[in-house]
Structure 1
Amino acid sequence: MATRKIIIDTDPGQDDAVAILLALASPELELLAVTTVAGNVPLPLTTRNARQVLELAQRPDIPVFSGCDKPLVRALVTAEHVHGKTGLDGAELPEPTMPVQDEHAVDAIIRLARDHPGLTLCPIGPLTNIATALRKAPDLAENIGEIVLMGGAYFEVGNITPAAEFNIYVDPEAAAEVFASGIKLTILPLDCTHKFLVTRDRADAFRDLGTRVGQTVADWTHFFERFDMEKYASPGAPLHDPCVIAYLLWPDLFSGRHINVEVETTSDLTRGMTVADWWRVTQRPENALFIGDLDAGGVFANLTDRLARL
Structure 2
Amino acid sequence: MAQKIIIDTDPGQDDAVAILLALASPELEVRAITAVAGNVPLALTQRNARIVCEIAGRTDVPVLAGCDAPLKRPLVTAEHVHGKTGLDGVDVYEPELPLTEGHAVDRIIEELRAAPGEIILCPLGPLTNIAAALQKAPDIAGKIARIVLMGGAYFEVGNITPAAEFNIYVDPEAAAVVFGSGVPITVLPLDVTHKVLTTRARIDAFRALGRIGETVAAWTDFFERFDVAKYGGEGAPLHDPCVIAWLLKPELFSGREINVEIEVESELTRGMTVADWWGVTDRPKNALFIGDVDADGFFELLTERLGRY
Please report how far the alpha carbon of residue 93 of structure 1 lies from its aligned counterpart in structure 2 after TM superposition: 4.0
User: Which residue number corresponds to residue 77 of structure 2?
Assistant: 78
Q: Does 1:44 align with 2:43?
A: yes
How far is the alpha carbon of 1:95 from its aligned partner? 2.0
State the distance in 2 between where 1:291 and 1:162 align: 20
Stretch of structure 1 that moved more, 277-286 or 111-120: 111-120
Distance in 2 (CA, whole Å) between partners of 1:20 and 1:114 is 24
| Range that drifts further, 50-59 or 109-118 | 109-118
- Within the alignment, does 1:248 sit opposite 2:239 as a pair? no
Instruction: Indicate the larger mover: 167-176 or 113-122.
Output: 113-122
**Aligned counterparts of 1:80 and 1:173: Cα–Cα separation in 2:** 23
Q: Output the CA distance in 2 between the equivalents of 1:266 and 1:165.
A: 16
Q: Which amino acid aligns with 1:208?
A: A
Match of 2:206 in 1: 206
- The corresponding residue for 2:100 is 101
Distance 1:137 1:45 in 2: 27
Q: Which residue of 1 aligns with 2:161?
A: 161
Aligned residues: 308
Instruction: Give the residue type in structure 2 aligned to 1:225.
Output: E
- Aligned partner of 2:109: which letter? I
Q: 1:259-293, CA deviations, whole angstroms, 9 ceiling, x for partnerless residues?
A: 00000000000000000000000000000000000
2:291 is aligned to: 292
- The answer to whether 1:22 aligns with 2:21 is yes
SS at match of 1:278: coil
Structure 2 equivalent of residue 33 of structure 1: 32
Give per-residue Cα distances to partners, 1:22-73, cap 9 Å, x unaligned: 0000000000000000000000000000000000001011000100000000
Q: TM-score, normalised by structure 2?
A: 0.99
Shift of 1:168: 0.1
In structure 1, what is the Cα distance between the partners aligned to 2:132 and 2:83? 28
1:148 has 2:155 as partner: no
SS of the equivalent of 2:7 reads strand
Question: Which residue is 2:272 aligned to?
Answer: 273
Query: Does the 8 Å contact 2:163/2:271 carry over to 1?
Result: yes
Task: Report what 1:230 is aligned to.
Answer: 229
- After superposition, what is the alpha-carbon deviation per residue over 1:92-118, rounded to whole angstroms, capped at 9, x for unaligned? 143201110111000000000111222
The whole-number CA distance in structure 2 between the counterparts of 1:66 and 1:34 is 9
Distance 1:140 1:94 in 2: 36
Question: Residues of 2 paired with 1:72 and 1:94: CA distance?
Answer: 30
CA deviation map 1:64-83 (0-9, x unaligned):
01000000000000000000
How many angstroms apart in 2 are the aligned matches of 1:299 and 1:225? 18
The letter of the residue matching 2:185 is: L
Tell me, in whole angstroms, the C-alpha distance in 2 between the residues paired with 1:9 and 1:222: 24
Matches of 2:13 and 2:136 in 1, distance apart? 31
RMSD (CA atoms): 0.5
Matches within 5 A, 1:45-194: 45-118=44-117, 119-194=119-194
User: In the TM superposition, what is the alpha-carbon distance from 1:142 to its structure 2 partner?
Assistant: 1.1
Gaps of 5+ in 2: none
Give TM-score scaled by structure 1 length: 0.99
Equivalence for 2:9: 10
CA distance in 1, matches of 2:137, 2:75: 24
Alignment partner, residue 260 of structure 2: 261
Contact map agreement 2:79 2:86 (CA 8 A) in 1: yes
SS in structure 2 at match of 1:51: helix
Counterpart of 2:40, as a letter, is V
